[in-house]
Amino acid sequence: MRNLFNKGLLYKEFKSIKLLGILMILSIFIFKTFQVFNLVYDSDVLSELTGSNYFNKNHYYMLNFYYILEFDGFSFDDHGNNMVVFFIAMIILTILLSFSQMYFDKKSRGISISFMIPVDKGTIMLNKIMVSIFTIFIVFFINTLIIIFTVLLNREILSNVIIIDILKWSLRNIMAYSLIYLVFMFIQALSINIIESVIVGFFAINIPYIVILIIKWLHDNFFISTSFQSTLETYFYFLWPLNYIVNDKSYLESFNGLINSQVYQTDVEPFWLHKILLMGFFIVIVLLLTLYFYHKNSFENHKKIVFKENILLQLAMLFVSGFGFIVLFLRFDNGKLDKFYMNPILLTAVLFATVMYILSSKYIAKNISKKLKRIDK
């Protein structure tokens, strides 16, 4: 353990994300306090919810993203909560966490002070990751404390089940945000510039959802049975970090105002520990890949340039970002996918994604030539 962590590195990383950590804690404090207090002390909501089974099963939805179920566009609801703004803010802050930690190490020819310490690159990365995940943990720990505290104030809804569910919900969120953070770290360890990291990273976190779409398409058009499709979909939903954040309701669906869609409901409901194990496994895989690529490739501009010359990587990135745009522009018809491959909007979206990618590649190519010039100097 002593070799894995270096006090100096931890100090540096805490310093680099100090402001963001404070922002995260503040945002969760402000949003959550308003939301939970409003909910607990709103007698109409309470009487409606406590009298139904719905509340018992879904109280943690209610405590966190209940209002998103009624969400229609970017307007504030009756209770003054705008959770979409909240979770978008949290996602952005999480992404910024990874950028802020990589920025100084990658911004110039200058060599980061981290590399002067007698530890290997993997350890440097591990220290970065640990500091951020610890920050995310603290944020949701505070969030959990706020919820538990407010629930304790109202004996009507207080029960052991609620407390356990709140803890489960917090753990799911910690894992989801940690995964988003790790995916962006991973993309940054590979990519040359921030713009590319944002484009590819954002869509990389939607890969499980893309796989779900492919499974649906195969089911609708080819040989996959309904039960097999349902099982696969369920498991991929548990690998999709945004799914955890919005409590199984697609934020993309909210974007389109398609509240009545049933596409996310599946017959199979794995045990909650099972979900967390699955998510944990996914996190470990991404973590190991991140450490590997950081150790192997990063901080060698020329290596990245050679890497970028690899046409397969370009195509893979095009695939990821292209499907990402498909996800964004996806349309449903009565809760079912309307043969998305035939949809002209989707075709336009793919075209748009391709153009965007070519443009960003040009930008990247410019950067490469700049870096080559620097190396020549």
Partner 1 sequence: MIKVSELKKTIGKKIILDNINLNVKHGSICGIVGRNGAGKTSFLKCLMGLWNFDYGKIHMKNIDVKTNSQFKKFTVFIPDEINIPNNYKVKDAEIFYKHAFENFDTDYFYKLLNLYEISINENIGNLSKGIKLKLSIALNISRKPDLLILDEPLSNLDPVSRKELINILISCASDKKMTILISTHNILDVQKFCDSFVILDEGKVLYSGSYEYLKNKIIMARCVLKSDIPDKLSELKGIIEYKIMGKSVTIVLENNDGNLDAIKKLSGDFELINLDLEEIIVYMLGGKTLEKLI
DSSP per-residue string spanning 177-199 = HHHHHHHHHHHHHH-SSHHHHHH
Name the residue nearer to partner 1 (CB basis): 5 or 264: 5
Q: How far is the CB of 94 from partner 1 (least distance, A)?
A: 22
Q: Half-sphere exposure of 159 toward its Cβ, with a 13 Å CA cutoff? A: 11
Question: For residues 190 and 307, is the Cβ–Cβ distance under 8 A?
Answer: yes
Q: How far is the CB of 138 from partner 1 (least distance, A)?
A: 21
Q: Where do contacts with partner 1 occur on this chain (CB under 8 A)?
A: 6-12, 15-16, 104, 108-113, 115-120, 299-300, 302-303, 305-306, 309, 375-377
Name the residue nearer to partner 1 (CB basis): 101 or 144: 101
Name the residue nearer to partner 1 (CB basis): 73 or 118: 118
Residue in this structure with the two tokens 């894995």, named with its chain if needed: 4
Name the residue nearer to partner 1 (CB basis): 155 or 377: 377
Q: How far is the CB of 330 from partner 1 (least distance, A)?
A: 40
Long-range contacts of 160-168 (CB under 8 A, 24+ apart): 161/56, 162/59, 162/60, 165/59, 165/60, 166/60, 166/63, 168/60, 168/272
Q: How far is the CB of 215 from partner 1 (least distance, A)?
A: 41
Q: How far is the CB of 4 from partner 1 (least distance, A)?
A: 13
Q: How many angstroms separate the CA atoms of 317 and 187, rounded?
A: 10
Q: How far is the CB of 299 from partner 1 (least distance, A)?
A: 7
Residue in 26, 281, 31 with CA at minimum distance from that of residue 135: 26
Residue in this structure with the two tokens 């356990």, named with its chain if needed: 164
3-state SS, residue 268: coil
Q: How far is the CB of 61 from partner 1 (least distance, A)?
A: 41
3-state SS, residue 104: helix
Name the residue nearer to partner 1 (CB basis): 125 or 147: 125
* DSSP at 112: P
Name the residue nearer to partner 1 (CB basis): 16 or 243: 16
* DSSP at 115: G
Name the residue nearer to partner 1 (CB basis): 355 or 375: 375
Q: What angle do CA 5, 9, 13 make, to 5 degrees?
A: 115
Q: How far is the CB of 18 from partner 1 (least distance, A)?
A: 10
Name the residue nearer to partner 1 (CB basis): 122 or 280: 122
Joined together, the tokens standing for residue 222 give: 């080819």
